[in-house]
Every structure is written in structure tokens, then in C-alpha cells.
């Protein structure tokens, strides 16, 4: 399970995933995803695409992005996360800019990039991680796609900053009671303005987004722990088990018990 919720990445991370789904989120790393098989719906900022086998995407730090898989979109993806520190050779290239399109076709990619992705994930999951080699391979991929990414300066940095701060606030506090009014006050902006920019960015209302974050985290707990379902509900901010079951079914298409019995996937 990729630990997006903690938002505490300090160094490199790599993983693979079947039928990846994740709510809109952000973090302070460069994230790269390669579709090794199948297809997946990906939203990066205001740009969405159905990515297919052989394609990759580069997500710059603090850009809201999401993944969606369903019966029509099954896939196997490999991902890595690279910390953009000031000493990085890519720091000045990336800072303050965004790619016009974060998506790269198979034809745009160097022929060795798919193999680099697989090697990065294999090394990271191995017993003895060669972090120097892993980081070098990550940088090699980024350097090889650099010329394919047409970079532009951020057009609306103030609006993007509000979205980034709001999403970060939600990710850090979704297990508590969070309201639009409270968030607007915390950020020092008008609640109607905040509602407008968040609806455009997230594609849903703030309450719906908070609920989806909670249910995603509940699925994580159901898949990776033996906590009783009543405890899982409490961990994500639901005091009423019946309400939790209803919300979980609405988002996941099954009850928490059915989800856990199916091995961590919708029945």
C-alpha cells in the first residue's frame, strides 16, 4: 500500500500496483508512473487521460493528481517517488514550472525506460536495497524524459497554492471533523472562492472528498491490519458503525466485511 496519506516522504520510494485507484492527493516529490499492462484513468492537475500499456507520466511536486481503475480499466503499474532537494541536478529545472503535458507515449520514451522502472521496483522491494543505484536509475529516467517535457512557468501560482494548502490540510485532518468554513478560515480565504476552486480541482464537493479519503484509508486498514471493523470506523472518524457501513458501501460497492473477506478488493 502506497502511504500517500502520511505525506511524510523524505527520500526515494518505489512500488507496483494492480488496478490502482487513489483519490486526488499531492505530496512534495516528483512521481513517475509507468503502465506495464492494461489501462488506467489518470488526472494530473487539470489534465486527464486514459493511460495505456507502455505509457508513462511525470507528476511534479505539489500537483493534485488521482488514479482510477474499474472493471473496464484493469492494469499493472510501476511507480517511483523522487525527492526534489536543492542539491538535486533537476532542482532548478523543475522548481516553479509545470509540463504542458505530463503524459508520454511509448514512442516518446527511451527504449530502456520500461526496464529501468522494473529494476527500480525490484531493487526497492529486495532484501538489500541499493539506494544509490535506485536513485541513479530514477535520475536517469528523469533526464531521459526531460527533453520530451515542454515546461512552462505556473500560470496561476496563487490559486494553485490555495489548492495545495487545502488538499494538504484535508490529508492531514480527514480523520477529524473538517468543514469548508473551517478550512477557509485556516487558509485565510473566502469560503465561496475556496469551494469554487476546490470543486474545479477535485471534481467533487469538499464533504464528498473528505468522505472518500476516509473510505480509502479504511480500505487500507482493512487490508493491512486485523483491527475490528468497529475500530476501523473510529480510526477514520465515524462514531456510528451503521453510518460507516453505509458510506463504505456507497463508495466501494460492498460492505467493510465483504471487502475484507474478498482479500482487500471489492466483492
Please report the DSSP string for 31-91 in residue order. EEEEEEEEEEEEEETTEEEEEETT-EEEE-TT--EEEE-BTTB-EEEEEEEEE--TTSTTH
265, 259 Cβ separation under 8 angstroms: yes
Domain boundaries in the chain? 4-153, 157-203, 209-261
Give pTM, 2 decimals.
Answer: 0.76
* 104 three-state secondary structure: strand
Q: 487545502: which residue's cell?
A: 166
Query: All 3 cell numbers of residue 3?
Result: 502511504
Total Cβ atoms within 10 A of residue 132: 8
Please report the DSSP string for 125-157 in residue order. HSSS--HHHHHHHHHHHHHHHHTTS-EEE-S-H
The tens place of each residue's pLDDT in the chain, 267 residues long, gives: 444 444 444 578 999 999 898 888 888 789 999 999 999 999 998 899 999 999 999 998 888 899 999 877 789 999 999 987 655 666 666 666 778 899 999 999 999 999 999 999 999 998 878 899 999 999 999 999 988 888 777 665 666 788 888 988 998 899 888 899 999 999 999 999 999 988 888 888 889 989 988 998 998 899 889 999 999 999 999 989 999 999 999 988 899 999 999 876 554
Tell me, which fold does domain 209-261 have in CATH? Arc Repressor Mutant, subunit A (1.10.10)
How would CATH label the architecture of 4-153?
Sandwich (2.60)
Amino acid at each position: 500500500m502506497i502511504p500517500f496519506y502520511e505525506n511524510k516522504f523524505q527520500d526515494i520510494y518505489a512500488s507496483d500496483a494492480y488496478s490502482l485507484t487513489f483519490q486526488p492527493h499531492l505530496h512534495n516529490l516528483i512521481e513517475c508512473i509507468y503502465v506495464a499492462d492494461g489501462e488506467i484513468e489518470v488526472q494530473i492537475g487539470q489534465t486527464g487521460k486514459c493511460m495505456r500499456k507502455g505509457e508513462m507520466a511525470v507528476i511534479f511536486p505539489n500537483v493534485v493528481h488521482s488514479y482510477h481503475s474499474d472493471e473496464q480499466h484493469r492494469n499493472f503499474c510501476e511507480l517511483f517517488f523522487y525527492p526534489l532537494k536543492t542539491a538535486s541536478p533537476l532542482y532548478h529545472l523543475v522548481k516553479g514550472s509545470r509540463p504542458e503535458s505530463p503524459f508520454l507515449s511509448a514512442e516518446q520514451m527511451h527504449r530502456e525506460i520500461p526496464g529501468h522502472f522494473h529494476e527500480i521496483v525490484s531493487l526497492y522491494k529486495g532484501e538489500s536495497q541499493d539506494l544509490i543505484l535506485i536513485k541513479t536509475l530514477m535520475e536517469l529516467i528523469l533526464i531521459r524524459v526531460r527533453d520530451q517535457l515542454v515546461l512552462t512557468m505556473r500560470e496561476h501560482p496563487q490559486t494553485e497554492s490555495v489548492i495545495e494548502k487545502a488538499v494538504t490540510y484535508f490529508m492531514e485532518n480527514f480523520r477529524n471533523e473538517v468543514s469548508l468554513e473551517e478550512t477557509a478560515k485556516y487558509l485565510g480565504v473566502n469560503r465561496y472562492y475556496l469551494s469554487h476552486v476546490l470543486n474545479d480541482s477535485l471534481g467533487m464537493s469538499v464533504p464528498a472528498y473528505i468522505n472518500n479519503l476516509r473510505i480509502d484509508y479504511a480500505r487500507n486498514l482493512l487490508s493491512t491490519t486485523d483491527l475490528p471493523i468497529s475500530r476501523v470506523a473510529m480510526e477514520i472518524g465515524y462514531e456510528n458503525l451503521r453510518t460507516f457501513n453505509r458510506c463504505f458501501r456507497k463508495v466501494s460497492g460492498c460492505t467493510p466485511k465483504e471487502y475484507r473477506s474478498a482479500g482487500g478488493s471489492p466483492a
